[in-house]
Structure 1
């Protein structure tokens, strides 16, 4: 996701069980043309592996140029063919390339024939299953080595309103020889287990839920997904403020643009801000952030007696070697 899977956040998710991670979606043309964009939007370190570097594109030559800049720093170069947002419509990339499959095929072939690392793709499903299966098979034949399938259509942008179609993902998995990752409806580890058991997928991705709870893959879940009579009996041992502090410490080590940091603080402290909205307003009023201010914000919430625990209901190790659980 744009602005939401930068290096500090990836490292936080890895600490809590994510076995691989994607960079934010990078615009291939701007990546080639703008050194500042490259230096701010793509940072990594030796511990940041396995790593998928994710690009949007609509020109094979431009995409290859961008991919060659990062191939020595990653394990996969990923083509985002699933972004459904208005900006993707305007820029003609992401899920809006589903209307031009010859172009999609040429993007995959260009990378597969010219890179030293494998090519992966992320897609959304078509309304008709047969169209989805033809699409997935075309990508495999073009040289895609790993396919992530989001079980919603291009028009189903609201994950809370539309449930992902796991049956469509299962059908893709059964159709292809390459690994298939499942995306959609992953809110806690029970969902991970159910997804793997029902579909036989090679891995599971989570995006939106991780923004609120980066410890999902370690078995922690927010109170929204804990049965009421269990809440008092489960020892949380961790809360979202703890995760914010850990994230900020990673930002000290791996500096990133402030807009990214602001976004993560809002997401991870969302439940706390609902209890103390005046603290959220203090954050919103800051035109220029500092780490000292953000550490102080967390201290202020704790002094106000706010605590929103994460509950460790799950045994994350129960997935064993079934598959990888993959972060953003």
Structure 2
């Protein structure tokens, strides 16, 4: 993994080319190929784990691929910082040969930064996702994320520039939210489709809609009926049942989960809550790849919220470092490591006997 990142840091901004030692991307991992194939050959939508600030890093991306997830996004990376700062490159993006199919999400506000970003990163990913939906005010002030929803010409010019340079050798997606006036949304998607976007992801909320308000699937259905490129639905997917119902209602080609898959990385495998096997796999990946403590803790807290009593969750969240948290797990559970017999096979938490009785009081 470090060799790949060192190579990214050495790439020239003027004429970035993949090092000859980097293996070409397997066309089977092309997101467009996967999205189309899942529907045609398997009769189901593509299952996609969406981008999450801080939380869709390499260990989590590898985790969800164990549970029927077809495509996984990185967190959003700011193009301007990435192309100018090698520290940002090393901290924002890590990958390896197992990290496929992966789409890197980018925040960009102009053609120049986006092209430089794509030049540097395209050998290491299967697709580029242009973020046009992030509602965070700081990002919008920078002219990225949901700020781009009012700039269809700019977004179209960025999509066009990437496709003119790379053609079918690279997949580019736009992830959008809907407008208050859906006519604006329709005009937006028609324009980006005309300029070469490969597929469109639609979050069925406006930039001001709270997550407590149900996603607008009628708006997503309207987008699907308007364009010819594949459409992915995003919003309120918390189970495999949700994924199929969303796809059936809207007619989309793929369904993206974000909050749902953060809480249960195995939703696309049909689990209604996180299986203990996912906890053990995540521990192995987080420690192997060196995921920061607070991020690791947050993942485990989300994953275990529905599978252990709240008082134990509180204990785990009160640990202050990785060693203490590992000790807490070993005190409460028979947490298996990779290489142990029956590693990552349990569905229910493997309580230590003394704690199991207390946990069910």
TM-score range, shorter chain: 0.7 to 0.9
Instruction: Give the equivalent residue in structure 2 for 1:251.
Output: 286
**Partner-residue secondary structure (3-state), 1:144:** coil
Question: How many residues end up aligned between the 2 structures?
Answer: 285
Q: What is the aligned counterpart of 2:324 among 283, 289, 293?
A: 293
Deviations 1:23-77 (A, max 9, x none): 1110111111221221222111222111111100112101111111111111111
Residue 262 (structure 1) shift: 3.0
Distance in 1 between residues matched to 2:235 and 2:271, nearest whole Å: 18
- 1:53 and 2:104 correspond: yes
Alignment of 1:178-257 (within 5 A): 178-222=229-273, 239=275, 241-257=276-292
Partner of 1:148: 201
Query: Which residue of 1 is the match for residue 299 of structure 2?
Result: 264
Secondary structure, counterpart of 1:80 in structure 2: strand
TM-score, reference length from structure 2: 0.74
Instruction: Kindly report the root-mean-square deviation, in angstroms, between the aligned alpha carbons of the 2 structures.
Output: 2.0
Assess, with a 3 A threshold, how the Cα gap between structure 1 residues 98 and 278 changes in structure 2: closer, same or farther: closer
Give the 3-state SS of the residue equivalent to 1:72 in structure 2. helix
User: In structure 2, do the counterparts of structure 1 residues 281 and 294 end up closer, same or farther at CA, with 3 Å as the change threshold?
Assistant: closer
Structure 1: gaps spanning 5 or more residues? 223-237, 309-328
TM-score by length of 1: 0.81
Matched, 1:72 2:120: no
Instruction: Give me the whole-angstrom Cα distance separating, in 1, the residues matched to 2:359 and 2:143.
Output: 44
2: CA distance, partners of 1:62 / 1:187: 35
1:103 aligns with 154
**Equivalents in 2 of 1:193, 1:254: separation in Å?**
33
- Contact 1:40–1:257 (CA under 8 A) maintained in structure 2: no
Contact 1:273/1:280 (8 A) holds in 2: no
Do the aligned partners of residues 11 and 59 (structure 1) sit closer, same or farther apart at CA in structure 2, a change above 3 Å counting?
A: same
CA offset at residue 89 of structure 1? 2.2
Shift in Å, 1:111? 1.6
Contact in 1 for aligned 2:297/2:317 (Cα 8 Å):
no
Asked if structure 2 preserves the Cα contact closer than 8 Å seen for 1:81 and 1:123, the reply is yes
Taking the aligned partners of 1:264 and 1:77, their CA distance within structure 2 comes to 25
Which structure's relative contact order is higher, taking Cα pairs within 8 Å and 6+ residues apart?
1
Whether contact under 8 Å (1:21, 1:52) holds in the other structure is yes
Q: Within 1, Cα distance between the matches of 2:294 and 2:137?
A: 20
